Amino acid sequence: MSTITPDILRQWRHEFHRHPETAFEEQRTSARIAEILDARGIEMVTGLGGGTGVVAWVDGCRGSGSAIGLRADIDALDVTEANAFAHASRTPGKMHACGHDGHTTMLLGAAWALADNPDFAGRVYFIFQPAEENEGGGRVMVEEGLFERFPMEAVYGVHNWPGLAVGEAAVHETAVMAAFDVFTVKLSGYGCHAAMPHLGKDVVLAACQLVSQLQGIVSRETPAHQTAVLSVTQFHAGDAYNVMPETVELCGTVRCFDPELRHYIEARFRQAIASLATFHGLEASIDYQSRYPATFNTPAHANRCAEVLEAMPDIRQVHRDMPPSMASEDFAFMLQQCPGAYIWLGNGKDSAALHNPHYDFNDELTPLGVAYWTTLVRTLLG
């Protein structure tokens, strides 16, 4: 009989939520994960993925067999929490606004449950990965030799999904999440008195035109059957009412799925800025970074995950036709190196959105996530 109960899972999750840590700073979180694993006698290696990642494992009692990996992200976000409940963040400016506290708890619960009843053949690796938000902890773990050091035939991931009811899931056959690029553009001109704009080079006018012009790359140059998003999210210029500034800085992100389209958008992005800068007599600098590749499931593994979910009594519906998300996920780096699948579990139809200061992981989902992980293991490694 498993020693894991919903109350224990809730206690763990609330503790993680109260003490959020962001990318590569998850020292307390990592130490607590190791402490919980050690309390159940589960073997592990710590200090991975830049120093805060953990990989643990449980061997089945049925003898030798395949090895698979289950992954959870452990980091929080630079968001100020707006919730007032007892387990709200105690760290100013940081919160678990994406549910990684719940993902970590579900994987810990699965590790305990499988250690209590290892009724399978082979080995299960539990991958606690840091720095999913923006900083590519998944890439770091892969580059450090995750799959060489811990050989596995497949790797699987889960994310909670607001808008889907608890008891619903979504499985994509191929594309799940978009590729993720970021950019910073600096335009430099000549400042002057705002009453005499003819004496300067107006970077604000140029930047406003640029924000509109860049949208044409998506709306007029991207094939209609492909999906892409280009969003300018920051605009920094000036500090006075009557001074035309010398510089303006624009920041934002580009998302798409197709690698060739991704390269095309970057090339046209650079051309558009160079042309605009020439027209306005400005200098331009561009910092364009390709962060995460698109997340693609291996179809056969996605289908097995869907079948497992459809056979679970507490899963009421499995959506196989939901469109992929334009959000991004560094689990993509793991799926580039190892077959597997990444699925969504409903966090509640009325749940606040991911990355929202009012968001909270739904504690009702935690036991269901543990059940999914353990059922998947016993199905695949039966």
Active-site annotation, residues: 75, 132
d(CA 56, CA 125): 6
- Rg for the chain, CA atoms, rounded: 23
- Reported in sequence order, the residue ranges of the chain that DSSP labels E, i.e. its strands, are 43-48, 53-59, 67-73, 123-129, 154-162, 168-170, 175-177, 179-188, 192-193, 228-237, 243-244, 247-256, 283-292, 295-296, 317-319, 340-348
The response to whether 355 counts as a known ligand-binding position is: yes
Residue 279 CB-density burial (10 A; 0-12 exposed, 13-18 middle, 19+ buried): exposed
The response to whether 280 counts as a known ligand-binding position is: no
The response to whether 358 counts as a known ligand-binding position is: no
The response to whether 319 counts as a known ligand-binding position is: no
3-state secondary structure of 25: coil
The response to whether 198 counts as a known ligand-binding position is: no
d(CA 121, CA 378): 8
The residue whose two tokens read 């209609």 is 224
345 contact partners, CB below 8 Å, separation of at least 6: 158, 159, 160, 161, 164, 166, 168, 169, 365, 368, 369, 372
Residue 319 CB-density burial (10 A; 0-12 exposed, 13-18 middle, 19+ buried): middle
**Cβ-based neighbour number of residue 190 at 10 Å:** 13
**Is the distance from CB of 261 to CB of 164 less than 8 angstroms?**
no
DSSP 351: P
Cα distances (Å, whole numbers) of residue 285 to 202, 228, 235 = 16, 24, 15
d(CA 203, CA 207): 6
3-state secondary structure of 355: coil
Q: What is the dihedral of CA 304, 68, 130, 360, to 10 degrees?
A: 40
- How many CA atoms lie less than 13 Å away from 102 in the CB half-sphere? 25
Summarize the annotated binding site as residue ranges: 98, 100, 133, 159, 355
- Give the annotated binding-site residues for Mn(2+): 98, 100, 133, 159, 355
